[in-house]
Amino acid sequence: MPTMNGGIVKSPDTQRENRVPPGQRAIERWPVLHYGAVPRVDTAGWSFTISGLVAKERKLSYQEFMALPRVKVFADIHCVTGWSRLNNLWEGISTAAIRELASVLPGAKYVIVHGVGGFTTNLSLSDFFESDVLFGLKHDGESISPEHGAPVRLVVPRLYFWKSAKWVVGIEFTEKDKPGFWESHGYHNHGDPWLEERYG
């Protein structure tokens, strides 16, 4: 797979002198965390739906989604349970590529990201379209495993990792905010690790 200009987007938090936010500790391994069982996602039946406040709703097949331009992002992971994993290299589809497809209407202020089985997480439009946010397909050069969200997971490096929805099947642009799964179960609505926005 050719690299886009060899360029790698560096998440700004990786440029900090101290990269471990308050109350976190850096670990080497990459734990698996989610609610419920790991879904088996069949790529033949998989699609990515762009709905809500867009000029035209779209449903991309797996092939269409995979054909979108790729980016690489170097970023740190911060889980609200206390572990951080520095130096992750993600490869996938930038949210900027999605914006080009979607024609988001001016009234849209939030994005609700949908995962298999009804999981959701909510982001402001500005957090969603940050330059280091992507739909991840690979991690450290290898395809993302089923446990970590295959075939497609969101990666939002500047917020706690619960915002990084696994097994993504679509996004919905809305005018009003709608707290997602973890946000409705006690986690903070925003989740900035540097401000320790852990619990709502």
Ligand X SMILES: Nc1nc2c(c(=O)[nH]1)N[C@H]1C(S)=C(S)[C@@H](COP(=O)(O)O)O[C@H]1N2
Binding site for ligand X (CB under 6 A): 30-35, 79, 115, 119, 148-149, 161-162, 164-167, 182
Site string for Mo ion, 54-83 (x = CB under 5 A): -------------------------x----
Residue 48 or 119 having the CB closest to ligand X: 119
Q: What is the C-alpha to C-alpha distance for residues 200 and 195, in angstroms, rounded to an integer? A: 13
142 CA to centre of own chain = 17
Q: Does 110 bind Mo ion (CB under 5 A)?
A: no
Q: Does 173 bind Mo ion (CB under 5 A)?
A: no
Helices (H) and strands (E) in the chain, counts: 3, 12
**Closest separation in Å from C-beta 59 to ligand X:** 19
Q: What are phi and psi of 25, to 5 degrees?
A: -135, 140
Q: Decide which of ligand X, Mo ion, none touches 114; Cβ closer than 5 to 8 Å per partner kind.
A: none
Q: Does 162 bind Mo ion (CB under 5 A)?
A: yes
Residue 39 or 101 having the CB closest to Mo ion: 39
Residue 72 or 148 having the CB closest to ligand X: 148
Residue 104 or 166 having the CB closest to ligand X: 166
Q: In what order do the strands lie in the sheet with 120-124?
A: 58-61, 47-52, 168-174, 110-115, 120-124
Q: Are 153 and 30 in contact (CB under 8 A)?
A: no
**Closest separation in Å from C-beta 100 to ligand X:** 25
**Closest separation in Å from C-beta 2 to Mo ion:** 34
Q: What is the C-alpha to C-alpha distance for residues 179 and 189, in angstroms, rounded to an integer? A: 7
Residue 48 or 104 having the CB closest to ligand X: 48
DSSP 145-190: PGGGTTT-EEE-TTS-GGGS-SSEEEEEEESS----TTGGGTB-SS
Kindly list the residues in this chain that would bind Mo ion in the complex (CB under 5 A).
Answer: 33, 79, 162
